[in-house]
Amino acid sequence: MNDIFRPLLRRTVIVFFDDILVFSTSMDLHLDHLRQVFEILDAHQFHLKASKCSFGQTQVSYLGHIVANGVVSPDPIKIQAVLDWPTPKTVKGLRGFLGLSGFYRKFIKGYATLAEPLTALLKKDAFHWTASAQQAMDALKQSLATAPVLALPDFSLPFIVQTDASGHAMGAVLIQHDHPIAYFSKLFCPRLSRASTYIRELHAITSAVKRWRQYLLGHHFVIQTDHRSLKELLTQVIQTPEQQFYLSKLLGYHYTIEYKSGKSNIVADALSRSFENPEASLHVLSTPQFLLVDELKQEQLSDSAYLELKARIEASPGSHPDFSLVDGLILRCGKIWVSPLSRFKRVLLQEYHESPIGGHAGVIKTLKRLSANFFWSNMRKEVQNFINCCVVCQQTKYSTAKPSGLLQPLPIPSNVWEDISLDFVTGLPLSNGYTVMLVVVDRFSKAIHLGALPGNFTAYKVAELFVNLVLKHHGFPKSIVSDRDPIFISRFWSDLFKFSGTLL
């Protein structure tokens, strides 16, 4: 179904298996959109059952949610199923309850904290129903019964992300016009539970931004936190690998960080702390300047490749299903498209590789970070070329060659001229047309033979000189030690001693 509706997908149609939702801003547009949907279904010989269809509705139940007038709420039928859920007797029954209630976790503040006593029972041999487990189950049911109505996102308005972290969990809420759009909470693993407050708060920010990436990428948004030391997040000196790890996850986003005290940051702070409802106060402590997106938009206004692609997308959206126009940017599969003529390619490469946050990472890590938010043709090749030309990387990179093996001593010879070694002495002054000397040394007696060669000698000339110089007087040796000169590893030289039984 996704394939046949691809030209209309996420523009006027949403498809989930055989559930088709057609949405419009006016009745006239809705009739036109319905006509397009019916034509596509008819062309592919699909049939609709009239008893399962609804048309011209201002409120609709879709995938367990009620959507109406720009807001979304849980389906009361599904909520009633959660409220009627019996006390679990087995781990399987508990998983079923958590699965159904977890489907609506975005409606519940601090879901992870409320469900913590229940999720602890899922561990091996840990299922034992207690009063605290029953209390947690009742709290979840009560939270679902009174779940708030969430607003649908409006991409013409800025988003606000409020985050907070306690000693064992984190919570966040996505807000527009003081109305929540989604809640998010998660328990910390044992390692993060032991981490510093700074790291836990930073983890909460990056997790929330990653969770709502589809809303935030390409738009300016505000991050509100109750941790004062994060007020200079982008201007702090990167001192630890953990800072570099978390800050790299925020590359490519256009955001402002504001300090909001825990008492006024009620929604996120409710994850792990009791609170009152004092009069809220907001204090702006820092506004990191991330002007890249604005500068990119300005540059693209005169970029021929951008203008040409934009015109094609506007003229025929169905022919470019992977592309969309959002706030003056072209997105390809949710990633910001960068023109092949743009100077920002080099700026992005420097930011993701040479900056303190980039940390001069390798090709794979740099490419992974960059491709998470941006796209342009031949990105991998350009990243490789950029890193290959990075002076710092070339000066400090470690050797990737395998370590050399241990040196092995040569066996001690037992007779003269049975084990020999030979090499060339080159670059000698010209004498009777010769500039090279062949040196043959008996490893037992240390006696030598010297033979002259021209500068352009061949394997055949060396073999001829070796026969006249050594073989005539001492016969074939048992072994010959030499370096890997092209003469000694040539096929002629190797065959000569192979047939004579000499180990070369």
Q: Which tens digit of pLDDT belongs to each residue from 263-304? A: 555 555 554 443 333 445 566 555 555 567 777 787 878 888
pLDDT for 449 equals 93
Q: In angstroms, rounded to a whole number, what is the distance separating the alpha carbons of residues 213 and 215?
A: 5
Q: Which tens digit of pLDDT belongs to each residue from 213-263? A: 888 888 889 998 888 878 777 677 777 788 888 888 888 888 888 888 765
Neighbours of 227 (CB within 10 A): 20
Q: In angstroms, rounded to a whole number, what is the distance separating the alpha carbons of residues 179 and 164?
A: 18
Q: Residues 188, 169: contact at Cβ < 8 Å?
A: yes
Q: Any idea what DSSP says for residue 35?
A: H
Per DSSP (E only), the strands in 218-337 are 220-225, 254-259, 323-326, 329-332, 335-337
Which percentage of the chain shows pLDDT scores above 70?
90
pLDDT for 231 equals 73
Residue whose pair of structure tokens reads 């002054």 in the numeric block: 429
DSSP result, 302-359: T-HHHHHHHHHHHH-GGG-TTEEEETTEEEETTEEE--TT-THHHHHHHHHHTSTTTT
pTM over 0.95: no
Q: Does the structure show a pLDDT above 90 at 306?
A: no
User: What's the average model confidence in pLDDT over 464-487?
Assistant: 86
Write phi, then psi, for 406 (nearest 5 degrees). -70, 145
Q: In angstroms, rounded to a whole number, what is the distance separating the alpha carbons of residues 148 and 172?
A: 15
Domains in the chain: ranges and CATH: 1-56 (no CATH), 74-146 (3.30.70.270), 153-273 (3.30.420.10), 291-396 (1.10.340.70), 419-500 (3.30.420.10)
Start-to-end Cα distance in the chain: 70
Q: Residues 304, 312: contact at Cβ < 8 Å?
A: no
Q: In angstroms, rounded to a whole number, what is the distance separating the alpha carbons of residues 95 and 163?
A: 28
DSSP result, 175-193: EETTEEEEEEEEEPPHHHH
Name the β-bridge partners of 21: 14
Q: In angstroms, rounded to a whole number, what is the distance separating the alpha carbons of residues 452 and 424?
A: 10
pLDDT for 395 equals 79
Q: In angstroms, rounded to a whole number, what is the distance separating the alpha carbons of residues 250 and 227?
A: 17
| Summary mean pLDDT of the chain | 82
Name the β-bridge partners of 480: 420
Neighbours of 200 (CB within 10 A): 21
Q: Any idea what DSSP says for residue 413?
A: P
Neighbours of 386 (CB within 10 A): 20
Neighbours of 185 (CB within 10 A): 27
56's tokens: 């011209």
Q: Does the structure show a pLDDT above 50 at 18?
A: yes
Q: In angstroms, rounded to a whole number, what is the distance separating the alpha carbons of residues 451 and 462?
A: 9
**What sign results for the dihedral spanned by CA atoms 7, 13, 17, 20?**
negative
Residue whose pair of structure tokens reads 């990387």 in the numeric block: 393
Q: Any idea what DSSP says for residue 11?
A: T
pLDDT for 271 equals 45
**Chain centroid, CA 337 distance in Å:** 17
Three-state DSSP string of 470-500: HHHHHCCCCEEECCCCCCCCCHHHHHHHHHH
Q: Any idea what DSSP says for residue 409?
A: P
Mode of pairing for the β-strands spanning 254-259 and 169-176: unpaired
Which percentage of the chain shows pLDDT scores above 90?
10
Q: Residues 336, 217: contact at Cβ < 8 Å?
A: yes
In Å, how far are 116, 267, 410, 445 from 415, measured between CA atoms? 83, 92, 15, 8
Q: In angstroms, rounded to a whole number, what is the distance separating the alpha carbons of residues 86 and 179?
A: 33
Higher pLDDT, 404 or 167: 167
Collapse the DSSP code of 138 into the 3-class scheme (helix H, G, I; strand E, B; otherwise coil) and give the result: helix
Higher pLDDT, 163 or 318: 163
pLDDT for 330 equals 82
pLDDT for 262 equals 61
Q: Which tens digit of pLDDT belongs to each residue from 177-222? A: 878 888 888 888 888 888 888 889 899 999 999 988 888 888 889 9
Q: In angstroms, rounded to a whole number, what is the distance separating the alpha carbons of residues 457 and 372?
A: 58
In Å, how far are 216, 284, 361 from 250, measured between CA atoms? 11, 20, 16
344's tokens: 């920002």
* pLDDT bracket for residue 421 (50, 70, 90): very high
pLDDT for 447 equals 93
pLDDT for 309 equals 84
Mode of pairing for the β-strands spanning 169-176 and 159-165: antiparallel
Q: In angstroms, rounded to a whole number, what is the distance separating the alpha carbons of residues 84 and 472?
A: 105
Q: Does the structure show a pLDDT above 80 at 37?
A: yes
pLDDT for 436 equals 92
In Å, how far are 353, 414, 464 from 469, measured between CA atoms? 61, 22, 9
User: What's the average model confidence in pLDDT over 77-86?
Assistant: 79
Collapse the DSSP code of 157 into the 3-class scheme (helix H, G, I; strand E, B; otherwise coil) and give the result: coil
Collapse the DSSP code of 432 into the 3-class scheme (helix H, G, I; strand E, B; otherwise coil) and give the result: coil
pLDDT for 437 equals 93
At 447, which helix (H) or strand (E)? none
Q: Residues 224, 208: contact at Cβ < 8 Å?
A: no
| Total residues found in the chain within this entry | 504
